[in-house]
């Protein structure tokens, strides 16, 4: 687990009895033992879980105060030899005041006690009747039993063998304008735990989810939130026991089911990803003027090697899983493309858009965006010049789809064969036409680009590029061929997402025969069609058989660029994500190919045309990805060689 950069975090909603510390102690110990069996590293209990949140004036009873200290010590002893960081909620007395605290335990020791900073005193919450604020308490000690322990909001808890630091806040702290977790995070905490007792009313759980999600996003941290549940008094309130675990804005576990029994919810947080995002975020680092002197306590965790992580690894990180979310994403992408192209048209006052139409996915998307942009700008569709350029590898299927779509969309179109020009070029450079090597292929790609560029000059227009993000990542483009255009409208969209955007357009933007053609294009194998078709006239040159499956390469790209993961981690995650699709050797084979191509092909990206940024992964050399064209891939390839 730790060697893969993951931390197993757990949250308990125990079944409690109000003011029955013996019963509650047993529930806490049982759940710690269960968590040990689940290999949990960080375990969080709700606010005041030792006594119950709804004790009211019983908090002032001396017997409660005394029993609380005794019980904390007993629970602490039970954590002996358990390499787990445990947080329990308890009321503790110090210097004439009572504090609502998070008590931190590890390996038989009380590491520290963190008091709640913000004490509510409104609506149903009158905590100031019982508790004092610990907001400004620092460099202090609290006595529990016969010993004194660190006490204050200036405590952070750091792992002794990985880059993990944990900060604590309690319930209402999260609702404050400036929260303890924000200050903790700016001082190194990359995981926040929240011991809470937030009651449930209609609509409140949704608001809590947004709070936790936003807080983990602002703090660029993991966030483990657990709230009191069944057993709390229902004199006036109901406590539903909501557990939320978030990772940098993404909720990865959300258990809000009402239960009459206890529940232990756990998942794995990717600390590597959080640390990578922080390192890249200069705004976060520039905010570190909120420096505070913290006391750091170290803790130990188990090795937990060879344990399968408990979270779903999405094989398609660019594509939302939910249909509604996916449609919304595709709509947003299409609108971004449309607005970008409209601005370019208006700025240069171009008289035409020239697009090479092959019958494939990428050129289809560029055409659809151009059509909708023309409509939006109230231009006739004849403003668009679609050119289909059949060559030696063009099949009837793609040829007919290209022509059919151009006709159905009522754009201006023209067919220009590249065969004669290519044959003449082969003669000019003394190339054998039967030698189907890279010269044979690139001649056709560059001839098509020359036609498009010259046609754009004739029409006082611009060439709209069709290449996508995945092709840029792999360098799967002919230099100064399809690599070049005057505006690369698809350059920010990965191949796995292009397919869904075209499908969305077919369903929501177009109808009739145009829609039928789009659906057939979606069903056509991806190919540059630069080699002759097979004997049956079908596509022989299939891109994914040459460079590898785009679904794998998009997964590699996302985790390499967006998350900064090493080949070892990318390989590990890919095995989990594609375990029922590709075997380990296949994944490793294409991972090698990805790094070779991604690093060696930077020279093509260094001079790409303008194009709109669409998502968090972008490869524009002017903004998101600045890499030398002569960087070596040896470091990455050597690590892959060492993989099991």
Residue 526 pLDDT level (bands cut at 50, 70, 90): confident
Does residue 311 sit within a domain? no
Which residue is associated with the tokens 């991806």?
Answer: 526
Cα separation, 80 vs 32, in Å, equals 11
In this structure, the number of other CB atoms found within 10 A of the CB of residue 381 comes to 14
Residue 141 pLDDT level (bands cut at 50, 70, 90): very high
- Is the alpha carbon torsion for 203, 209, 214, 215 positive or negative? positive
pLDDT at 601: 97
Question: Does 532 share its domain with 589?
Answer: yes
Render pLDDT for 357-399 as a digit per residue (tens, 0 to 9).
999 999 999 999 999 999 999 999 999 999 999 999 888 999 9
Does residue 314 sit within a domain? no
Instruction: Decide if pLDDT at 529 tops 70.
Output: no
pLDDT at 270: 96
Cα separation, 527 vs 531, in Å, equals 10
Instruction: Give the range among 114-123, 282-291, 331-340, 506-515 with minimum mean pLDDT.
Output: 282-291
Asked if residues 331 and 504 have their Cβ atoms less than 8 Å apart, the reply is yes
Residue 336 pLDDT level (bands cut at 50, 70, 90): very high
pLDDT at 12: 97
- Roughly how many angstroms between the first and final C-alpha of the chain, as a whole number? 16
Residue 416 pLDDT level (bands cut at 50, 70, 90): very high
Cα separation, 115 vs 357, in Å, equals 66
Does residue 469 sit within a domain? yes
What is the average pLDDT score of the chain?
Answer: 93
Instruction: Decide if pLDDT at 289 tops 80.
Output: no
Instruction: Decide if pLDDT at 123 tops 70.
Output: no
Q: Is 116 a catalytic residue?
A: yes
Question: Does 330 share its domain with 294?
Answer: no
Does residue 318 sit within a domain? no
Cα separation, 135 vs 535, in Å, equals 78
Does residue 486 sit within a domain? yes
Q: What angle do CA 320, 323, 329 make, to 5 degrees?
A: 50
Q: Which residues of 601-632 are buried (b: 16+ CB within 10 A; e: fewer)?
A: bbebbeebbebbbbbebbbbeeeebeeeeeee
Question: Does 359 share its domain with 281?
Answer: no
Render pLDDT for 549-558 as a digit per residue (tens, 0 to 9).
999 999 999 9
Question: Does 456 share its domain with 598?
Answer: yes
Instruction: Decide if pLDDT at 530 tops 80.
Output: no
Instruction: Decide if pLDDT at 327 tops 90.
Output: yes
- H-helix or E-strand spanning residue 572: helix 567-577
Strands 222-227 and 191-196 turn out to be parallel
Given the residues 55, 101, 171, 219, the one annotated as active site: 171
Given the residues 2, 25, 47, 495, the one annotated as active site: 47
| CA R_g for the chain | 30
Instruction: Decide if pLDDT at 307 tops 90.
Output: no
- Mean pLDDT computed over 88-107: 97
pLDDT at 1: 66
pLDDT at 541: 66
- Mean pLDDT computed over 587-603: 97
- Mean pLDDT computed over 633-641: 96
Render pLDDT for 459-496 as a digit per residue (tens, 0 to 9).
999 999 999 999 999 999 999 999 999 999 999 999 99
Question: Does 267 share its domain with 370?
Answer: no
Cα separation, 475 vs 627, in Å, equals 14
Domain with residue 456: its CATH number is 3.40.50.620
Does residue 309 sit within a domain? no
Given the residues 116, 273, 385, 455, the one annotated as active site: 116
The two three-digit tokens of residue 20, written as one number = 């029955």
Does residue 310 sit within a domain? no
The number of CA neighbours under 13 Å toward the Cβ of 136 is: 0
Give every strand in the sheet of 412-415, ordered side by side. Answer: 412-415, 384-388, 353-356, 462-465, 487-488
Length of the chain: 644
Residue 3 pLDDT level (bands cut at 50, 70, 90): confident
Does residue 134 sit within a domain? yes
Instruction: Decide if pLDDT at 607 tops 70.
Output: yes
Instruction: Decide if pLDDT at 444 tops 90.
Output: yes
The two three-digit tokens of residue 279, written as one number = 């390192």
In sequence order, the 6+-apart residues with CB closer than 8 A to the CB of 262 are 12, 13, 14, 15, 27, 31, 229
Looking at the DSSP bridge assignments, the partners of residue 246 are: 223, 251
Question: Does 391 share its domain with 517?
Answer: yes
Instruction: Decide if pLDDT at 86 tops 70.
Output: yes
Which of 244, 266, 299 marks a domain boundary? 299
Question: Does 130 share its domain with 40?
Answer: yes
Question: Does 54 share its domain with 161?
Answer: yes
- Mean pLDDT computed over 95-124: 94
% pLDDT > 90, the chain = 84
pLDDT at 510: 95
Comparing 556 with 283, which gets the higher pLDDT?
556
Question: Does 282 share its domain with 352?
Answer: no
Instruction: Decide if pLDDT at 644 tops 90.
Output: no
Cα separation, 530 vs 520, in Å, equals 20
Domain with residue 207: its CATH number is 3.60.110.10
Q: Is 47 a catalytic residue?
A: yes
Q: What stretches of 79-203 show up as alpha helix (H) in DSSP?
A: 180-186
Question: Does 334 share its domain with 226?
Answer: no
Domain range for 449 is 323-641
Q: How many domains does the chain have?
A: 2
Cα separation, 183 vs 189, in Å, equals 9
Which of 237, 264, 299 marks a domain boundary? 299
Question: Does 220 share its domain with 167?
Answer: yes
Instruction: Decide if pLDDT at 213 tops 90.
Output: yes
pLDDT at 304: 67
Question: Does 293 share its domain with 367?
Answer: no
Which of 284, 299, 314 marks a domain boundary? 299
């Amino acid at each position: 687990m730790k060697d893969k950069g993951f931390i197993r975090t757990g949250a308990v909603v125990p079944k409690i009895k109000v003011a029955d510390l013996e019963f509650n102690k047993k529930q806490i110990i049982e759940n710690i033992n269960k968590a040990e069996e689940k290999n949990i590293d960080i375990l969080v209990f709700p606010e005041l879980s030792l006594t119950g949140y709804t004790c009211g004036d019983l908090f002032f009873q001396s017997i409660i105060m005394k029993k609380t200290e005794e019980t904390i010590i007993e629970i602490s002893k039970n954590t002996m030899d358990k390499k787990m960081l445990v947080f329990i909620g308890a009321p503790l007395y110090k210097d004439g005041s009572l504090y609502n605290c998070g008590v931190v335990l590890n390996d038989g020791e009380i590491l520290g006690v963190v008091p709640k900073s913000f004490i509510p005193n409104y609506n149903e919450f009158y905590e100031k009747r019982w508790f004092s604020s610990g907001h400004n308490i620092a460099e202090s000690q609290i006595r529990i039993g016969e010993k004194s322990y660190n006490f204050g909001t200036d405590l952070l808890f750091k792992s002794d063998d990985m880059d993990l630091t944990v900060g604590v806040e309690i319930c209402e702290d999260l609702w404050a304008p400036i929260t303890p977790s924000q200050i903790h995070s700016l001082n190194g905490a990359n995981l926040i735990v929240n011991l809470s007792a937030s009651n449930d009313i209609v609509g409140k759980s949704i608001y809590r989810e947004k709070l936790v999600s936003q807080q983990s996003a602002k703090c660029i941290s993991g966030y483990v939130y657990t709230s009191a549940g069944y057993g709390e008094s229902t004199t006036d309130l109901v406590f539903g026991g909501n557990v939320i675990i978030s990772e940098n804005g993404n909720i990865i576990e959300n258990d809000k089911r009402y239960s009459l029994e206890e529940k232990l919810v756990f998942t794995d947080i990717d600390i590597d990803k959080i640390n990578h995002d922080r390192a890249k975020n200069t705004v976060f680092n520039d905010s570190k003027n909120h420096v505070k002197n913290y006391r750091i306590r170290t803790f130990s965790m188990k090795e937990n090697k060879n344990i399968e992580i408990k979270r779903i690894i999405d094989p398609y990180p660019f594509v939302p899983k939910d249909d509604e979310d996916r449609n919304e994403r595709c709509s947003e992408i299409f609108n971004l493309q449309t607005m970008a192209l409209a601005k370019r048209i208006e700025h240069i006052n171009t008289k035409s858009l020239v697009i090479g139409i092959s019958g494939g996915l990428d050129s289809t998307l560029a055409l659809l965006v151009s059509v909708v942009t023309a409509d939006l700008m109230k231009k006739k569709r004849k403003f668009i010049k679609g050119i289909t350029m059949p060559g030696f590898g063009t099949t009837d299927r793609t040829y007919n789809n290209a022509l059919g779509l151009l006709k159905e969309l009522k754009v201006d179109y023209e067919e220009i064969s590249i065969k004669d020009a290519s044959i003449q070029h082969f003669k000019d450079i003394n190339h054998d036409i039967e030698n189907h090597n890279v010269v044979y292929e690139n001649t056709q790609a560059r001839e098509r680009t020359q036609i498009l560029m010259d046609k754009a000059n004739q029409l006082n227009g611009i060439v709209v590029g069709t290449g996508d993000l995945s092709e840029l990542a792999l360098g799967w483009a002919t230099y100064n061929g399809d690599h070049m255009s005057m505006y690369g409208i698809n350059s920010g969209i990965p191949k796995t997402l292009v397919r869904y955007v075209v499908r969305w357009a077919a369903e929501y933007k177009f109808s009739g025969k145009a829609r039928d053609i789009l659906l057939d294009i979606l069903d056509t194998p991806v190919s540059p069609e630069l080699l002759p078709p097979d004997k049956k006239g079908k596509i022989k040159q299939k891109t994914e058989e040459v460079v590898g499956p785009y679904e794998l390469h998009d997964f590699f790209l996302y985790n390499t660029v967006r998350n900064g993961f090493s080949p070892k981690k990318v390989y590990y995650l890919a095995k989990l994500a594609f375990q029922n699709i590709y075997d380990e050797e296949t994944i490793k084979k294409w991972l090698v190919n990805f790094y070779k191509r991604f690093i060696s092909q930077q020279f093509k990206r260094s001079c790409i045309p303008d194009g709109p940024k669409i998502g968090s992964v972008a490869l524009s050399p002017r903004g998101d990805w600045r890499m030398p064209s002569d960087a070596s891939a040896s470091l990455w390839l050597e690590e892959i060689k060492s993989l099991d």
